[in-house]
Chain A
Amino acid sequence: MAFVEFNDVRKVYKMGEVEVAAADGMTFTAEAGEFVVVVGPSGAGKTTLLNMLGGMDSCTSGTIMLDGRDISRFSERELTQYRRLDIGFVFQFYNLVQNLTALENVELASQICPHPLDAAQVLAQVGLAHRMDNFPAQLSGGEQQRVAIARALAKNPKLLLCDEPTGALDYKTGKAILKLLQDTCRATGKTVVLITHNSAFADIADRVIHVREGRVASCFVNPSPGNAADLEW
């Protein structure tokens, strides 16, 4: 059984009397330790996919399996526990707590987990050992995203989910972040799912999933994933 398994997952939003299917029968699988890149244009349903996978949103029908557990049947409480223990999130806009320093933002996540990584160590890993006591406002975008990644990693999750992590960053910084994510995946063996509208990122993925109009257009394993450092777009 695959580590991640979407089976005919549908997500229907009711907008007044109109039903909009954000996910219209998504089916794919991904294996543990893979660097998965989900590519698709705006509104294709990638974020919906990620939200459902991350336990932030529930599906209308179909099953979502992670590591053998059917999260699509989880209750609200189970979903919270799931997010808490199994998932690490990285957002486009970092979503750091402005009132906490870099270290504290990481600790914010680690304090609620049973087996967290050392916050300072994780920050050092993402290259921010020297900025640990700085507030988000005092950090650049890339540094903030590193803090966000460190926060996600410190929980020691099974799955790292990244929603356009480079979207708000300049090219160079974005690349560095991509590299960090890839390296993390390689170094820790964690499964990383990254969402982007930039199909160029497919090159560095172990597995590429193309999403279009709520469906998985294709899902294939990249036979020769490139290094993020070499990526250009």
Chain B
Amino acid sequence: MGAFRKEVLRSITHSWGRFLAIAVMAALGCGFYAGLRMTGPDMRLAGDEYYDATELCDLRVVSSLGMSDEQVDMLRDVEGVSGVMPAYEADAISQLAGTQYTLRYHSLDVDAAKASSCSDGLRVESDDADYVNRPILVEGSWPESDDECLLSADNVWTSPVHIGDTVELLEGTQDLDGVFTTRSFTVTGFVRSSYYTCTTNTGATSLGSGELSSFVFVPEGAFAADYPYTEAFLTVDGAAGEAWPDDAYQRRVDTVAQRLSDLSPQLSASRIEQLQRDAQAELDDKRAEFEREKADAVAQMDDAQAQLDDASARLDSAAMQLSSAAAQLSSSQTQLAQGEAELASGRAQHDSGTAQLAEQREQAQSAIAQAQAQLDAAQAQYDQAMAQRSQLEAQLEQARAAQLADVAAQLEAAIAQIDAQTAGAPDQLAAGRAELDAQREQAQAQLSAAQAQLDSAQSQLDDAEARLASGRAQYAAGQQSYEQGRAEYESGLAEQRSGQSELDGKRAEAQQRFADAEKQLADAQAEIDAIADKDANVYVLDRSKNLGAESFRSDAGRMDQIAAVFPLMFFLVAALVSLTTMTRMVEEERVLIGTYKALGYSNARITSKYLVYAVVASGVGAAVGIVLLSQFLPWFIMKAYSIMYMVPCMPTPVNPGVAASAAALGVGITVAATWFAAAATLRECPASLMLPRAPKAGKRILLERIRPLWSRMTFSWKVTARNLFRYKRRFFMAIIGIAGCTALLLTGLGLQNAINDIIDKQYGEVYSFNTIVRMDADEADQKAKDAVSNAVGSDGQEFAWVSTENKIACAPDDGAEHRFELVCAQDPEQLQRFVQMRERVGGQALALDGSGAIISEKLASQLGVSIGDTLTFYDEDDIGNLVGAGRTVTVAGVMENYVAQYAYVTADVYEQAMGQPADFATVYADLGDGVDRDAFSDQLLSMDGVKTVTYSDETINSYRTMLKSVNSVVVVLVVAAALLAFVVLYNLTNINITERAREIATLKVLGFTSHEVDAYIFRETILLSVIGAAIGLVLGIFMEGFVITTAEVDQVMFGRDIHAASFAIAFALTMAFSGVVALAMRGKLRRIDMVESLKSNE
């Protein structure tokens, strides 16, 4: 080794401080450059690895009409398609562990999942190429039955969720029974899915607040049998071999995507045809069934009719029988009546006979009696005559006695007369008696005969009577049985009649039903026929349409952007540090250079010493910096992002290109600075080099012109002031370095402010409500709404009714689509009590009136519209595509808003724009702290039409999570800032002290106390720090602005104000850093030896 080389080597080993200064700056510059530059690619690589390992679909084919195996097979046949996994997907508001979430349910091929293996927690091995979007089982087990599910392992649940918990389906986009076979799932495990890379933004849905909370995997069997595949996940041949999202990857995918797009008309035609066919078959089945049923029904009815008719016939015959019976009865009645009459007449006859007989008897008796009487009278006459005769005889006797012979003669005469007269009388009397007896006997016989006759008539009559009685009884029985028959008949008839009317009703009903069914069938047929006219939209979506992957990719892109700007400052400072350090070195070795020159070394050779020194120093620094920071920074940033992105791997390979360019830049800058420093000195001739360089002359500075100020300054301040302007390079190095440090600090703190402000301002200033109750606009009637109003306002809480709809606005210039929520206020004043509508700058309040829409600031800036412009927007379908005709509204104001994007309108403006009145089905309410949230939710959710109840707290929590990732970025920035400050200030102070050792020694000799000496030197550092920090604060505002706008994600506007405290902290920290450096350098100041420093002029 030549002496010169040895000298070069020793110049390194004998000045570690200087070497380190250059090395550290090079390390910082190159390291940050390389580290940040590699972060984006590393993130993309991490994504690529993760996606490859989990077979994330390259393409997703969605059909608005669903899909079946037929279409899936068509997809399979497309050239370049490797794996195809048809899948079901459905959104549902679900209840889990007491909290409501809007979840997306995905079907999982459980068999394939069970057959797969994932040993390293990243790569899911499976033989099934059609097993796409492979979830990684983090905890638990795969579902065994159709009512089991897997949840996201990401921590998105507001309350702890465990295996064995139940997920209850509450409400879906369509009837849940048509989608799922079950209404609740038991959690069997937790998975990580590359399909959902971003944990804070899962996607949009038409349910609830419009934002998905998370996802769920359920077995395919959990979906209803006739629920069609909603989508198919495809992998592209060779795409896994390319690095996502490089052009090569995209080209491969695009090629296949193009083929699929070309196929989409056929797909949709096939789907329509199939739907039609299926529907037709189904309809035909239905028709057949209907016909069958109809025939059955008709047959049944005919049967019934026949039965009825039968019954009717039977009834008729019964009626006939009845009538004949009636006739019989009436004839028998007639007969009876006749018999009765006969009997009566017989009886009358008999009675008359009896009467006759009695009369006869009486006659006979009277005749007999008469005869008797005659006889008796004759007897009596006779007896009288006898008596008279006796009397006369007695008298005759008397008279004889008396011998009244005249009298006796007379009496004899009278007795003779009497005898004469009585002569025949006894005979006559006997004859009369006999005759009477005969007569009596005859009469008796006659009477007896008559009596007998009568008696026989009587018996005949009695006979007839008995017969009649039996006839009557018979008749009565006949009558009764007839009555019974009649009743039976009547009831039979009534039954038949009611049967008939029932049947008639049934028949009419059936007719109606048949007509209805016919109409339905016809309608269905019409519908089927209409399927042909349907738009079967087939969407072919690549990974750029996957929210997680795309936002991960764009965040990686943001890192690229940040990487393009940030390291500049480090390089600039590195260049300045190298320049001053090498200038100092060359300066120190002035005599040595002269000596080399005197010895005959060429300028190039001598310069090479410094260049070699610079190359070695910066090279070592660059190597160390690149190796360390290209590992650390990507790792750290990915770690920070891992709060938002679930990408399990963090590869940090050293990218040779970036590393080389970083090293080349770092070394190049240092070498250039070195050459610049050495060139001037080397131009001098050896003799002048041998002489001490004239100390840099003092100069008057501008400040001195301000006499009143200058004359009041102490010497130290004067020296300080003059020194600042004396060494311009150092001044700029210090200013840039310190300003950079402050700017970095301010950027970090400002970033924190910005993100804190999202929550604090949105939920503290812009919004003064904390609860949103959404009702189903279709279901909720005024009554239901009133009930909700009552419930919400029960404790005197204020609330406002609005209508909210998700819309898509198109930027006028580039047509970029931006989602926003169109909020229509029922009562603008009421709404404005809840939503502070004001301009961010100046705080000018905005009036929500008929002049147009008040839109959120970010929406305005993204669309590039301002007040007075027209906002054009479209409806949004379920998969987030814009549909329908564009509607317009005038922008009346641009309001401060941080979370999501809104356009607020009055009911009039809404109706004008939408052509229909708004349906106010959403309530903004401000719930007091005392209100039990869960109970309130339960109460409201049990009411008709209420879909969701959401609290701001949940949103706030998710943002707080995001904030954590920012905190680590702040740490990186603070550390970087501190490093920057230390290196710059240390270097500066070091050079300052070394270069001014004589001056310091002089001061010491003059009797300056160490405190005074410190002040004398560090005043400069402090002043530089103050100036640098002040400039840094200004620089920081711009840098923070850049970072904010670069890092800002869609749908969120970061706070735009850096808080005063952040300015103060950034400033104070910078001062603290310079204070620390000052403290560290005090020792060096102490060690300056008066004797040595003043011994001679070096």
Contacts and interface: CB of A to CB of B under 8 A. Distances in A.
Interface string B561-581: 000000000000000000000
A91 B1096 CA distance: 9
Interface in A185-211: none
A112 B1012 contact: yes
A132 interface: no
B952 interface: no
A81 interface: yes
A99 B723 contact: yes
A83 interface: yes
B536 to A, nearest CB: 85
Given A100-B698, A100-B718, A83 B1005 contact: yes
B1002 A95 contact: yes
Interface residues of B, number: 33
Given A97-B999, A99-B722, A137 B694 contact: yes
Q: Which of B718, B1006, B1012, B1090 has the most CB of A within 10 A?
A: B1006
Nearest to B1013: A80
B998 interface: yes
Q: Which of A83, A99, A135 has the most CB of B within 10 A?
A: A99
Q: Which of B719, B722, B1001, B1007 has the most CB of A within 10 A?
A: B1007
B726 interface: yes
A118 interface: no
A121 interface: no
A135 B1091 contact: no
B715 A100 contact: yes
A125 B1015 CA distance: 31
Q: Which of A84, A97, A168 has the most CB of B within 10 A?
A: A97
Given A56-B1005, A84-B1008, A112-B1007, A104 B697 contact: no
Contacts of B1001: 95
A67 B357 CA distance: 209
B1010 interface: yes
A57 B694 CA distance: 28
B1095 interface: yes
Nearest to B1011: A80
Interface string B1002-1043: 111111111010000000000000000000000000000000
Given A47-B1095, A137-B694, A137-B697, A89 B1006 contact: yes
Given A93-B1096, A111-B715, A80 B1009 contact: yes
Given A93-B1096, A95-B998, A99-B723, A135 B1006 contact: no
A138 interface: yes
A93 B1093 CA distance: 11
B13 to A, nearest CB: 18
Contacts of B1004: 56, 80, 83
Contacts of B1010: 80
Interface residues of A, number: 39
Interface in B695-752: 695-700, 714-715, 718-719, 722-723, 726
A54 B1005 contact: yes
B957 to A, nearest CB: 60
B643 to A, nearest CB: 54
Contacts of A4: none
A85 interface: yes
A108 B1006 contact: yes
B1094 interface: yes
B1007 A81 contact: yes
B726 A99 contact: yes
A181 interface: no
Contacts of A81: 1007
A93 B692 CA distance: 11
22 contacts: A51-B1091, A56-B1004, A57-B1090, A77-B1009, A80-B1004, A80-B1010, A82-B1007, A83-B1004, A84-B1008, A85-B1007, A93-B1094, A97-B698, A100-B698, A104-B715, A104-B718, A108-B715, A108-B1006, A112-B1007, A112-B1008, A135-B699, A136-B698, A137-B697
Report, nearest first, the 5 A-B pairs whose CB atoms are least far apart.
A84-B1007, A137-B697, A83-B1007, A135-B698, A99-B722
Interface of B: 694-700, 714-715, 718-719, 722-723, 726, 998-999, 1001-1010, 1012, 1090-1091, 1094-1097
Given A92-B1096, A95-B1005, A168-B1097, 16 more contacts: A56-B1004, A84-B1006, A84-B1009, A85-B1007, A91-B1002, A96-B1002, A97-B719, A98-B698, A99-B718, A99-B723, A104-B715, A104-B718, A108-B1006, A135-B700, A136-B695, A137-B698
Interface of A: 47, 51, 54, 56-57, 77, 80-85, 87, 89, 91-93, 95-101, 104, 107-109, 111-113, 135-138, 151, 155, 163, 168
